[in-house]
Chains A and B, each alone.
Chain A
Amino acid sequence: MTERIERELWLPATPEAVWEAVTSDGWLAEHVTLDLRPGGDAQFDSGGLLRSGWVEDVAIAERLTFWWAVDDEPASRVELRIDAHGDSTRLRVVETRPLDVLDLIGVPLPGAGGANYGPALVAA
């Protein structure tokens, strides 16, 4: 078992339509606030469940990588990838827990606390 979730979905829609759907309110959370630039703030509010995080990487209608966490839970990293193949568009989702990722890229682990899983850490 790996602490990694991977899914893919083919949709009869354009990458732009898929991008619009996955970044709009109601998909990642009821209310989504994304500052679409590296290091930008991200808030995912579903009433009882509030996740906050930040944007690692973004290319409109192609990819969005962000980190999110509930309160003091460990943050996880989400990659959304969108690519067109003919009339179909593929959406790929990968969610991983951070230590897995950090271990792979050999970044020294910081102390405990979601605040440490910030842009500076990945830039390091």
Chain B
Amino acid sequence: MSDSRPEHRVRGPRAGSAAAHSSDDRAGAVFGALSDPTRRALLAAVAEHPATTATELASQLPISRQAVLKHLNALTDAGLLGRKRSGREVRYEFTPAALSDAVDWMTAVGAEWDERLAMLRGQLGGGTGAQAIGAAPRSRHPH
């Protein structure tokens, strides 16, 4: 329906990334790309040293250049990194737009649900507030 969807919405990281972790430690995921600790480390390294190359990154991390490239591709697909060719080399840059897009979505959607749940509480009663799952359970409710 749309021709204007950014690339990171069209292409996602492949299976094996997010699926390997529980939903609790999928923190940092933009479409699962950040669920992998190596990718998070790579992203941090690129953010810290803009215009870096796969070779430079491989020298800083205990993984091969080939593995670095694989992760860089996943991060690029997720919209978190941009590639820039300079001479014979490809340089990578952190592009936080995908991240802020995800944050915007979570903020807006979270606020909508909070509003709906508050309305429901007003309608059906109940003193306990809506809570994010994972918050301490109320003792009076059996599980």
Are A and B bound to each other? yes
* Interface of A toward B, CB cutoff 8 Å: 1-13, 17-18, 21-22, 27-28, 71-72, 74, 76, 85-86, 88, 90-93, 95, 97, 99-100, 102-104, 106, 109, 111-115
Q: Report yes or no: A2 in contact with B1, Cβ–Cβ below 8 A.
A: no
**CB closest residue in chain A, given B126:** A11
Q: Report yes or no: A100 in contact with B116, Cβ–Cβ below 8 A.
A: no
**How far does the Cβ of B9 sit from chain A's closest Cβ, in whole Å?**
5
Contact with A along B3-46 (1 / 0, CB 8 A): 11100011111110111000100111111100000000000000
A111 to B5, CA, bound (A): 10
A10 to B137, CA, bound (A): 11
Q: Please tell me which one of the listed residues B110, B124, B133, B142 contacts residue A86 in the complex, with CB atoms under 8 A apart.
A: B142
**How far does the Cβ of A55 sit from chain B's closest Cβ, in whole Å?**
18
**How far does the Cβ of A114 sit from chain B's closest Cβ, in whole Å?**
5
Q: Report yes or no: B116 in contact with A99, Cβ–Cβ below 8 A.
A: no
Given contacts A1-B99, A21-B124, 13 further A-B contacts (CB under 8 A): A1-B29, A1-B103, A2-B27, A3-B31, A7-B132, A12-B124, A13-B126, A17-B124, A72-B5, A103-B12, A103-B15, A109-B10, A112-B9
Please tell me the number of chain B residues within 8 Å of chain A, measured between CB atoms.
52
**How far does the Cβ of B54 sit from chain A's closest Cβ, in whole Å?**
24
Q: Please tell me which one of the listed residues B2, B31, B114, B123 contacts residue A113 in the complex, with CB atoms under 8 A apart.
A: B2
Q: Report yes or no: A10 in contact with B141, Cβ–Cβ below 8 A.
A: yes
Q: Please tell me which one of the listed residues A3, A18, A21, A112 contacts residue B3 in the complex, with CB atoms under 8 A apart.
A: A112
Is B130 close to A, CB under 8 A? Answer: yes
Q: Please tell me which one of the listed residues A18, A28, A103, A115 contacts residue B31 in the complex, with CB atoms under 8 A apart.
A: A103
Could you jot down 6 A-B contacts, CB within 8 Å? A1-B103, A2-B26, A9-B128, A18-B124, A91-B120, A114-B2
